[in-house]
Amino acid sequence: MKIVSLLPSATEIVCQLGLENQLVGISHECDYPPSVKNLPRLTSSGVNHHAVSGEIHQSVADILRKSISVYTLDLKQLKSLDPDFIITQDLCDVCAVSIQQVQEACAAELGGRARIISLKPCRLNDIWSDLERVAQTLGATGFYRAFKNEVDGKIESIRNSIPDHPKFRKKILTVEWLDPIFIGGMWVPEMIEMVKGTCLLGSPGQKARQVSREDLNDIEPDIVIFKPCGFKLEQTLSEMDLIQNAFPWKEWPALKNSGVFLVDGNAYFNRPGPRIMDSLEILAYCTHPDLFPEPGHKYKDSILKLRPDFTVAPLRGK
């Protein structure tokens, strides 16, 4: 069996299901687990993802206005690999190669032989359902059941560890893009509910929402988590001036109470795959560090906490 994965979350799913040795090709963005890094890459992007967030947003908008794809699929490479299964997505043309591109390539280069598995997660249950569907299709249901049992246990443990008391119900804002400002949606509001928080400006199952300064002036978050989609910590840190000046910090309790965090948005929160559970642990730590100190150490290379003067503070962890 030969599998091609055209998005990072699918690559992580395949590996979680014990099928890494069946992977023959991946996307240009697939970077986890590290053991896949030498596999052939079948996609490329027309956007400079190392630019600042405002330039990236404008570049994507310009490409979409011209009705062309943000991503290119290497048809010659696809044909030479001749996969049995291609895993892609049908959720966001900005996030990966479009389903239409994959369908056309499969018909033209593979004679329709490859089976396309398309993922479209909007909520947490969709992520688990997609993982189960991939497992059933690829004959790995045992790995899925073991993973899902672990997921259910972690969720129950986190919920049971947080007292039902108003002081633990934090108002949480997650920022998915910096310029313009987008607020996290989709499965993130459900994750916030799992740590007994109140999600600000985001709705379960809805795509990330662009907000104005007026929208931000109307809220008072206790916790703010910056997790720009596709940004590693270094890239988010490079836009610290924007973080300092684009938000009404004087009116928000989050900064003065050391409740502002930067998280690796490339690895966590934005990938609807197995590491969503890692993201939930990170969220639990950021919201209740005294109750969940372990993630502060476990994910110390992926989380930064800001002091009121916007310098980086040490994490509590053990």
In the predicted structure, residue 97 carries a pLDDT above the cut 60: yes
The identity of residue 136, as a single letter, is: Q
In the predicted structure, residue 203 carries a pLDDT above the cut 80: yes
Residues 122 and 189 in one domain: no
CB 188 within 8 A of CB 215: no
Q: Is residue 152 part of a domain?
A: no
Residues 174 and 95 in one domain: no
- What is the average per-residue pLDDT within 42-54? 90
Residues with Cβ within 8 Å of 3's Cβ and at least 6 positions away in sequence, in order, are 14, 19, 22, 23, 24, 83, 84, 85, 86, 87, 138
Based on C-alpha coordinates, what's the Rg of the chain? 20
The neighbouring-strand residues paired with 23 are 3
Q: What is the model's pLDDT at position 178? A: 98
Residues 304 and 167 in one domain: yes
Q: Is residue 50 part of a domain?
A: yes
**Looking at the chain, which runs of residues are DSSP E strands?**
3-5, 23-25, 43-45, 71-73, 85-89, 115-119, 171-177, 182-183, 198-199, 209-210, 223-226, 260-263, 303-306, 312-313
- What is the average per-residue pLDDT within 47-61? 90
- What is the average per-residue pLDDT within 64-87? 89
Q: Is residue 315 part of a domain?
A: no
Residues 115 and 23 in one domain: yes
Largest CA distance in the chain: 60
CA within 13 Å, CB half, 150: 12
In the predicted structure, residue 316 carries a pLDDT above the cut 80: no
> Of 144, 171, 197, which residue constitutes the final position of a domain?
144
CA within 13 Å, CB half, 69: 16
Structure tokens at 109: 């280069």
- What is the average per-residue pLDDT within 7-31? 97
Residue 46 pLDDT level (bands cut at 50, 70, 90): confident
> Of 109, 144, 179, which residue constitutes the final position of a domain?
144
Q: What is the model's pLDDT at position 317? A: 60
On the 0-12 / 13-18 / 19+ scale of CB atoms within 10 A, 318 is exposed
By residue range, what is the domain housing residue 48? 3-144
How many Å from the N-terminal Cα to the C-terminal Cα in the chain? 43
> Of 113, 144, 175, which residue constitutes the final position of a domain?
144
Domain count, the chain: 2
pLDDT digits (tens, 9 = 90+) for 261-296: 999 999 999 999 999 999 999 999 999 999 999 999
Q: What is the model's pLDDT at position 153? A: 97
Residues 9 and 135 in one domain: yes
In the predicted structure, residue 259 carries a pLDDT above the cut 80: yes
In the predicted structure, residue 318 carries a pLDDT above the cut 60: no
Q: Is residue 92 part of a domain?
A: yes
Residues 172 and 208 in one domain: yes
Higher pLDDT, 46 or 220: 220
What rounded mean pLDDT belongs to the chain?
94
Residues 136 and 10 in one domain: yes
Q: Is residue 283 part of a domain?
A: yes
Residue 314 pLDDT level (bands cut at 50, 70, 90): confident
In the predicted structure, residue 67 carries a pLDDT above the cut 70: no
CA angle, 206 then 211 then 216, to 5°: 120
Cα–Cα distance, 276 to 122 (Å, whole number):
13
Residues 259 and 135 in one domain: no
Q: With pLDDT > 70 as the criterion, what percentage of the chain qualifies?
A: 98
Residue 95 pLDDT level (bands cut at 50, 70, 90): confident
Q: Is residue 156 part of a domain?
A: no
In the predicted structure, residue 129 carries a pLDDT above the cut 90: yes
On the 0-12 / 13-18 / 19+ scale of CB atoms within 10 A, 1 is exposed
Residues 193 and 229 in one domain: yes
Q: Is residue 122 part of a domain?
A: yes
Residues 116 and 193 in one domain: no
Task: From 276, 287, 282, select the one nearest 263 (Cα to Cα).
Answer: 282
Residues 176 and 62 in one domain: no
Higher pLDDT, 61 or 155: 155
Residue 221's CATH number = 3.40.50.1980
Q: Is residue 87 part of a domain?
A: yes
Residues 109 and 238 in one domain: no
